[in-house]
Amino acid sequence: MAKEVTMAIVGATGAVGQEMMKVLAERDFKIDELICLADPREEGTQLKFKDEVITVQKVTEEAFRKADIALFAVGTEISKELAPIAVKNNCVVIDNSYAFRLEEGVPLVVPEVNAEDIKSHKGIIANPNCSTIIMTVAINPIHKEYGLKRVVVSTYQAVSGAGKAGIDELDEHIKAYMKGEEMKPSVFQYPIAFNLIPHIDVFVEHDYTREEMKMVWETRKIMHLLDLKIAATAVRVPVYRSHSESINLETYKPVTPEGVREVLSRAPGVIVQDNPQEKLYPMPLYTSHKDEVFVGRIRKDISTENGIAMWVVADQIRKGAATNAVQIAEIVVKDNLY
């Protein structure tokens, strides 16, 4: 039987933090004590966890001293500040921010893809970008069988990728639009109701956004394929929850849709939903609040010799963030890596 651990969640009141608590409860993670940490302004907030009520504390070194593992669900700057303090106090950090993902020596892990990387951690394990997690779960089994040569992906990303504020803004914009009032953007760059915004995160190199480049940089690190060719286009869509991805990939070995369907049907964390004649394909309205990555519309990419086109959808707050972090924590505990 697994040992019981003391677990901290940093940013417990946010969208991802809240989801982490749900996932810990659902998966019956053996926790001796759950410490909920957040911004001092949230101190005293009461959070439900299983049958308990947990009072939110402000972040202290003392809390990290007590905790064996801390799930970080805060922004990059706060992670950069607090994670080293946790590590110094012998608390293993599983960090959901961008802060450490590309740092050498920090494992960047999707358990279905590179669980073994967790072993080499030096205190911090990074949880990848949501779109990247979803994509790698779907393409890694194909890579193992056929060898990936190139990936072209266009995303359709839900507003909850920007947290609760993103959900609220879509809500407000929908209501404003329906009343014929002005939609005032603050979370997003432009009104998001009945619109599409091809701009997530900031523009970095070659006029790609960082969201797009994360799908390149992080996928390469997770899959240990430093030269994998990837081009991404990331688009925000007026969907509350679950990111969708249209993926065209090329393989070294000859590949067929039947083969990919077979490979994915036995891949961990994947559910194949692919029967066009029965109108069966993944859609964000139906994959939300689920942990798996759903794959459908698997077909030959008719524009290339060895290619596959497919449509991938998953709840980016669950598998794209909270669930993936909890899965990492499960391995840390099981393999006694704390």
Binding residues for substrate: 157, 236
Smallest distance from its own copies to CB 201, Å: 12
Q: Which is nearer to its own copies, 114 or 248 (CB)?
A: 248
* Nearest C-alpha neighbor of 268 from the set 153, 106, 95, 114: 114
b/e map 237-256, b = 16+ CB within 10 Å: bbbebbbbbebbbbbeeebe
CA dist., res. 175 & res. 66, Å (int): 46
Q: Which is nearer to its own copies, 114 or 246 (CB)?
A: 246
Smallest distance from its own copies to CB 137, Å: 18
CA dist., res. 221 & res. 137, Å (int): 14
Q: Which is nearer to its own copies, 5 or 298 (CB)?
A: 298
Q: Which is nearer to its own copies, 269 or 296 (CB)?
A: 296
Q: Which is nearer to its own copies, 190 or 252 (CB)?
A: 190
Query: From the CB of residue 88, how many other CB atoms can be counted at a distance below 10 Å?
Result: 12
SS3 state at 141: helix
- Residues belonging to the binding site for NADP(+) are 13-16, 160-161, 316
Is the Cβ–Cβ distance between 191 and 183 less than 8 Å?
Answer: yes
- Residues belonging to the binding site are 13-16, 101, 157, 160-161, 236, 316
Smallest distance from its own copies to CB 100, Å: 24
- 153, β-bridge pairs: 232, 247
- 154, β-bridge pairs: 233, 246
Q: Is 143 marked active-site? A: no
Which residues bind to its own copies, rule: CB under 8 A? 150-152, 154, 156, 174-175, 178, 189-191, 194-199, 203, 206-209, 216, 229-231, 233, 235, 237-240, 244, 246, 248, 257, 276-277, 279, 281-285, 296-304, 307, 309, 311, 313
CA dist., res. 334 & res. 13, Å (int): 27
Query: From the CB of residue 50, how many other CB atoms can be counted at a distance below 10 Å?
Result: 13
CA dist., res. 124 & res. 126, Å (int): 6
Smallest distance from its own copies to CB 118, Å: 29
Smallest distance from its own copies to CB 309, Å: 6
Select which of 91, 121, 130, 173 is catalytic. Answer: 130
Amino acid letter at 104?
E
Q: Is 91 marked active-site? A: no
- Residues belonging to the binding site for phosphate are 101
As given in the structure block, the two tokens for residue 327 are 């899965």
Catalytic residues: 130, 243
